[in-house]
Amino acid sequence: MKKILKIILTCVEASVLFVVVGALTTATTKTIYANILIEQFKNKAVYNEEESTEMIQLYRIPSNETLPVKQQIGVEHYPGNEGDILITLVSELQIPFIHDFISFFAGGHAALVLGDYEDVLDKTTNLYTVESSGLSDDLNLADTNAKTYWNRYPYPVIGLRVRMTEEERRTVVARGLALAGDPYNYSFLFDTKNKSYCSDLVGKAFASIGVNLNKDGFTTSIYDLLVSNETYITYYRYFDKDGVQHIYYLDTK
């Protein structure tokens, strides 16, 4: 009996080790690839001296995009456009070890940019997002938010885009709006039909047009959205130590 128990325990330990090593390897690979994609994107940019200011430095990348990747209103530059994805790779949880652990394995936060929509309960434009956040009790339901939140996000913000038709874009946005009100899924694994976490909500929206943003079949992490073959970077913004914004973007001019 003891021999059988020992064999069982050995198998369990080996299985746990296999899962841990596999998860670490996958996370490391995604992190390295994500950083490569970001650097490749930034290296294509040319400094836009004409439109830059003391506090906002712009770097344009010539492209064939017809839908602008950002909107300028006054001095503010709002990331993303209808159907775009906004992500950050850094977790907002300022808890020692946990902050770094989540940032490395899952990333930070994600949102889907909305478009022109109005009903008796809501009105949105491309200056709004739908997103799911579970940082506190009053933020545990997916909801629509103004993009001002992302404009002031202290960590680097990345804009992603999926190539799709106008009809597909409207379908994605409609599905994202339909997910507003979903409770936050703190387990990330169970009850995914009735609950959503941030990157899962984005994944569900794009699944409505047959686009799979989760290639490994596990949880849909922020890194999955970035390294997916279906997405490409359109926007990257960070604050330097002096509070100056540096914005890299695909230009439609």
Q: What is the mean pLDDT of residues 208-234?
A: 91
Phi, psi (rounded to 5 degrees) for 9:
-60, -40
* Percent of the chain topping pLDDT 90: 61
The answer to whether residues 142 and 129 touch, using CB atoms and an 8 Å cutoff, is: no
Contact 159, 234 (CB under 8 A): yes
End-to-end CA distance of the chain: 75
Bridge pairing between strands 117-118 and 109-113: unpaired
Closest CA relative to residue 177, chosen from 128, 249, 223: 128
15-19, 61-65, 124-128, 178-182: least confident range = 15-19
Confidence category of residue 19, pLDDT binned at 50, 70, 90: very low
More confident residue, 30 or 66: 66
Q: Residue 243 CB: number of other CB atoms within 10 A?
A: 7
Greater model confidence, 87 or 26: 87
Please compute the mean of the pLDDT values over residues 222-251 and round it to a whole number: 96
Q: Is the pLDDT of residue 251 over 70?
A: yes
Q: What is the CA radius of gyration of the chain?
A: 20
The string of pLDDT tens digits covering residues 181-214 is 999 998 877 768 889 999 999 999 999 999 999 8
Copy the structure tokens of residue 196: 């959503």
Beta bridge partners of 160: 85, 233
So what's the pLDDT on residue 31? 84
Task: Tell me the pLDDT band of 138, cut-offs 50, 70 and 90.
Answer: low
Cα 22 to its chain centre, rounded Å, is 23
Which tokens in the block code for residue 82?
């209808």
Q: DSSP label at 138?
A: G
Q: Indicate the average pLDDT of the chain.
A: 85
The model's pTM is 0.88
Handedness of CA 125, 72, 236, 230 (dihedral sign): positive
Q: Helix, strand, or coil here: 59?
A: strand
Cβ within 8 Å of residue 229, ≥6 positions away:
215
- Reply yes or no on whether the pLDDT at 7 is more than 50: no
Pairwise CA distance, residues 120 & 66, whole Å? 31
pLDDT at 12 over 90: no
Residue 63: the pLDDT is: 96
Cα separation, 162 vs 234, in Å, equals 10
- What's the pLDDT at 224? 93
Range 129-154 average pLDDT: 85
Q: Where are the domains of the chain?
A: 2-251
- Amino acid 1: pLDDT: 54
User: Which one is predicted more confidently, 215 or 45?
Assistant: 45
